[in-house]
Structure 1
Amino acid sequence: MAILDSQGRLFGKINLLDLGAALVILLVLIGIFFYPGTSGSVAQVNNVVKPVEVDLIVRGLNVRDPEQLFDNGFKKGGKTNVIIRNQPHGSLDIKSVQQLPRTMLVPQPDGTLKEFTDPRPNQFSTDILLTLGGKATIRPDGPVVGNSKLKIGNPIELEGFNYNFNATVIDVRVENDKRA
């Protein structure tokens, strides 16, 4: 009796294609049940959430009346919606708002530069220094709000009832636990 017959059966009883398919299914089942790999996300195991403060600077915001902006929608104690890389990440508390004076560099006769307050009237451009506060997930590579890292230099879009503008992160402070 031959090992393979004319129809491709092993010992005349088992088709080689069926045997190969059964072995593949058996190996897949062994791989699923005996070697499952990692289960769940390791990134969420030791997440630490801490309060953070973020300093932002807004350069050249075009607004007719900055005081009206600060009084109506953008004031200390309020909240602002934060959008990072076109992804909304909820709202952060406004800790402080400071309008920076507009200045200009003036060359001096000895060749040096001095900074003076800009004397030009009817300026519709203002610079603002903001401090926002909230909670962030602390990871080994820095604080994360939503799914985006907070790092110096990141652009952040701020949105509220009567405003929508971009700011740049200039400082990130993570509050440490005072427990010992």
Structure 2
Amino acid sequence: MAIVDSQGKLFGKVSILDVGAALIILAVLFGIFVFPATTGSSIAQVGASKPVEVTTLVKGLSVINPDAWVAEFKQQKKTKLIVRNQEYGEVDIKSAERVPELVIVPQPDGSAKGLPNPIENDYSLNMLIILGGTGKVSDGGVVLGNTPVKVGTVLELEGASYNFKASVIDIKVLNQAKS
């Protein structure tokens, strides 16, 4: 009896393709369990925790009374922060101020100028918020939790009566003495 017959079966019973597929599956399982991939940031890449200030911009937040809402928001002093659907924890609200909505107005000399919108929307709010917290500084920037935060990252702020998104427009790493 031949080891491989004319139909490609070992000892007339098992196909060579089935044996090859079984070996590939075993090799993959061996690789998964013996050499698992590491996740997260390594200690070599991420430095020590440092105080950071993250400046965010909220545009077009719909609220019934924008001025009263900003005043109430300032009094809270803390808010929960969610970065890319990962809860970071509580951060300090260092400042919150209403930003006027600007419209671009052409000037007689051909230039354009941003001026406050004369037609105010009573239920829309633009706001500049500075948040303070602790982050790790790496070669790629600031890491909050396990997520890198850069200009343009959308953060979610959550409290007892609100949940909205804000875009990061500036990040500052502070000296330890200021904290």
Q: Counterpart of 2:122 in 1: which secondary structure?
A: coil
Contact 2:82–2:156 (CA under 8 A) maintained in structure 1: yes
Q: Counterpart of 1:75 in 2: which secondary structure?
A: helix
Once residues 122 and 49 of structure 1 are traced to their aligned partners in structure 2, the CA distance between those partners, rounded to angstroms, is: 42
Q: By how many angstroms is 1:110 displaced?
A: 4.1
Q: By how many angstroms is 1:140 displaced?
A: 2.1
Which position in structure 2 is the counterpart of 1:171?
170
Which position in structure 2 is the counterpart of 1:80?
79
Query: What is the CA deviation profile of residues 116-147 of structure 1, one whole-angstrom value per residue up to 9, with x for unaligned ones?
Result: 22111443212111100011112222111111
Which position in structure 2 is the counterpart of 1:133?
132
Q: Which amino acid aligns with 1:160?
A: G
Q: Counterpart of 1:69 in 2: which secondary structure?
A: helix
Change (3 A) 1:121 1:47: closer
Q: Counterpart of 1:43 in 2: which secondary structure?
A: coil
Q: By how many angstroms is 1:44 displaced?
A: 2.9
Once residues 146 and 97 of structure 2 are traced to their aligned partners in structure 1, the CA distance between those partners, rounded to angstroms, is: 28
Which position in structure 1 is the counterpart of 2:102?
103
In the superposition, the TM-score normalised over structure 1's length comes to 0.69
Which position in structure 2 is the counterpart of 1:43?
42
Cα RMSD of the aligned pairs, angstroms, is: 2.9
Task: Give the share of equivalent positions with the same residue, in percent.
Answer: 41
In the superposition, the TM-score normalised over structure 2's length comes to 0.69
Work out whether 1:68 is the aligned partner of 2:65: no
Q: By how many angstroms is 1:175 displaced?
A: 1.2
Q: Counterpart of 1:137 in 2: which secondary structure?
A: strand
Query: What is the CA deviation profile of residues 31-68 of structure 1, one whole-angstrom value per residue up to 9, with x for unaligned ones?
Result: x9xxx9xx9x9813664010000000111111121222
Which position in structure 1 is the counterpart of 2:17?
none
Which consecutive residues of structure 1, in runs of 5 or more, have no partner in the other structure? 1-31
